Amino acid sequence: MWTVSSETGVLREVLVCPPTHYRWIPTNSIVRRVLEEGGQMPTTAQLASQHGELVDALQQGGTRVHMLTPEPHLPYMAYTRDQSVMTPWGPVLCQLERPQRRGEYAALHRFYEGHFWRLSSAGTLEGGDIHIIRPGLALIGHSGGRTDEAGANQLACWLRAEGWEVRTERFDEHFLHLDVLFCMAAPGLAVACPDVLDPAMMTWLAGHSIRVLPVTYAEVMRLGANILALGEGRVISARESTRLNAALRAEGLEVLDPALSLFTLGGGGPHCLTCPLKRD
């Protein structure tokens, strides 16, 4: 049975999708800026090479990698974080906001063979805004841009009914998903942007004994905070995040650093490109 009860337990199985049909679409502030500055869409071979580095890093970490079959009319399927989220009771099928992504639900139905713990049905809900911090504690962001308040509250109610503490956090939709601003690196250690996040959230994290490695707005806009914990002191972070990677290593963490610039320019990093299915 697939279950996830934290962001930092040892990652045993994960879901990804090859970027066969991936392309930049100006539906978020990050990729709009790249296109306005004259960024050139990478080739399929370039994308496959970088995605392959991510898969190699996952397998190097001992993770079994499951692959969705990409579909030509769904260019953002590679960002598997958003379509569903795994919980201790099974998967939740999310309700994607962007019209260009709504068709992705069908591939998830096939993958999970229709077996879900819950189906999001109020407002919109995307996995990049959901953080299962540790057993009994979760953080759900809502900007109105991707996840809205109704979607966040519905999931929060389901988790609270199981006895969990859940904080819902409003943030500016300029930042796409909460995992652009915040990700767990290891038990009790997060990467976050305190210059942007509500000070009350930073106090809440401290109150739960979660220390923060700070990142800047400029780093956030290059997806610098978007990392994936593998457990046992290991983390995947994009090679381009050199300052953060040095800080993570200074914390005693092993950093696996695939080159992912072609995806971070499109608005997603290693956290966005992966959906954990099973963690210890």
What's the pLDDT tens digit per position in 170-187? 999 999 999 999 999 999
Instruction: Annotate 51-76 with DSSP letters as a single string.
Output: HHHHHHHHHHTT-EEEEPPP-TT-TT
pLDDT at 209: 98
Domains of the chain, each with CATH number or no CATH: 11-279 (3.75.10.10)
- The pLDDT-based confidence of 24 (bands split at 50, 70, 90) is confident
pLDDT at 142: 98
What's the pLDDT tens digit per position in 74-89? 999 999 999 999 999 9
Question: What is the average pLDDT score of the chain?
Answer: 95
What's the pLDDT tens digit per position in 26-63? 666 666 776 677 666 788 999 999 999 999 999 999 99
For 56, the token pair is: 């190699």
List residues bridging with 84 in a β-sheet: 93
Q: What percent of the chain has pLDDT over 70?
A: 96
Residue 230 has pLDDT above 80, yes or no: yes
pLDDT at 63: 98
CA dist., res. 17 & res. 90, Å (int): 20
pLDDT at 80: 98
Average of pLDDT values for 260-273? 92
- The pLDDT-based confidence of 160 (bands split at 50, 70, 90) is very high
pLDDT at 23: 79
For 207, the token pair is: 């109150």
Residue whose C-alpha is closest to residue 58's, from 190, 239, 186, 229: 229
Residue 190 has pLDDT above 80, yes or no: yes
For 79, the token pair is: 């960002």
Which DSSP category does 42 fall into?
A: P
- The pLDDT-based confidence of 265 (bands split at 50, 70, 90) is confident
